[in-house]
Structure 1
Amino acid sequence: MDQLYREYILDHYKNPHNWGEMDGADLEFEDTNPLCGDELKVQLKLDADNRVEQVAFSGHGCAISQASASMASDEVIGMPIAELVRLDKSFILELLGIDISATRLKCAL
């Protein structure tokens, strides 16, 4: 089963969903992992009901960081922003479907 998830992660890394930048984002978030140099920028557009209407992310990093951003970007479309801000690391770990070492956990989040 781990092999299936590893292939899924590599597919998201090589063919990321929602990758790029958008004009007119309602919210933006940028973060850098000082341990490995991963950089990520996430942009969101919200609809009139404060649900995520569109997501874009950009940056560079390892397969785990880029794949987790790609997977999460698919999952949060349509989600109310109030729910989005309550997500924790278990959300990402469940998406990845594999055990992540403590040193790689920051990459996934």
Structure 2
Amino acid sequence: MSSNNLDTLYRQVIMDHYKNPRNRGVIEDDSLTINMNNPTCGDRIQLTMKVENDIVTDAKFEGEGCSISMSSASMMTDAIKGRQVEEALKLATTFSDMMQGKDLDVEDDEDLGDIEALQGVCKFPARIKCATLAWKAMEKALHEEEK
């Protein structure tokens, strides 16, 4: 597949998550809640997660922002549900490396799925904070839960 076709496919995946977000909403009962924003562009997110027996059993988000930040939140909540906390944090590190343009050292059993569509964001430094907002919120909430 040519790079132009791949870019088009990735844009379609991003727009699908933006227009049809997965896991939009709030978990009401006994959940981790974190609010974060990106003051440079106005993106904001409220992330709620349920962690039981060291497994992220549910994750939802509310917020406003650009297509990159909202689609990234949609992809992230999809990706972490059902994972152990340690796996979710490792995935956040992999995502951060991808946003920094590093070569990914992804294990064979770790499929990034739709998240790969965001790899082109690293070419636009001003948009990296948009893509990482939800991921930073997830890391902060899980680290606070560990304390």
Higher Rg of the two aligned structures: 2
Question: Quick check: 1:69 aligned with 2:73?
Answer: yes
Q: Which of 16, 33, 36 is the equivalent residue of 2:38?
A: 33
| Number of aligned positions between the proteins | 108
Mapped partners of 2:31, 2:99: distance in 1: 23
How many percent identity over aligned positions? 35
Aligned-residue RMSD, C-alpha = 1.8
Q: CA deviation at 1:96?
A: 4.2
CA contact (8 A) 1:68 1:96 kept: no
Q: Is the 8 A contact 1:25 1:44 kept in 2?
A: no
**Following the alignment from structure 1 to structure 2, what is the Cα–Cα distance between the partners of residues 29 and 96?**
25
Structure 1 runs not aligned, ≥5 long: none
Give TM-score scaled by structure 2 length. 0.67
CA distance in 2, matches of 1:92, 1:23: 32
Corresponding residue for residue 52 of structure 1: 56
Give the distance between the partners of 1:25 and 1:66, measured in 2 at CA.
24
Pairing of 1:1-109 with structure 2 (within 5 A): 1-47=6-52, 49-86=53-90, 87-88=92-93, 89-90=96-97, 95-97=115-117, 98-100=119-121, 101-109=124-132
Cα distance in structure 1, aligned partners of 2:28 and 2:17: 23
2:35 is paired with a residue whose SS is: strand
CA contact (8 A) 1:25 1:43 kept: no
Q: Whose helix proportion is higher, 1 or 2?
A: 2
Residues 25 and 102 (structure 1 numbering): CA distance in 2 closer, same or farther, change over 3 Å?
farther
Deviation at 1:85, TM superposition (A): 3.2
**5+ unaligned residues in a row in structure 2: which ranges?**
1-5, 101-111, 133-147
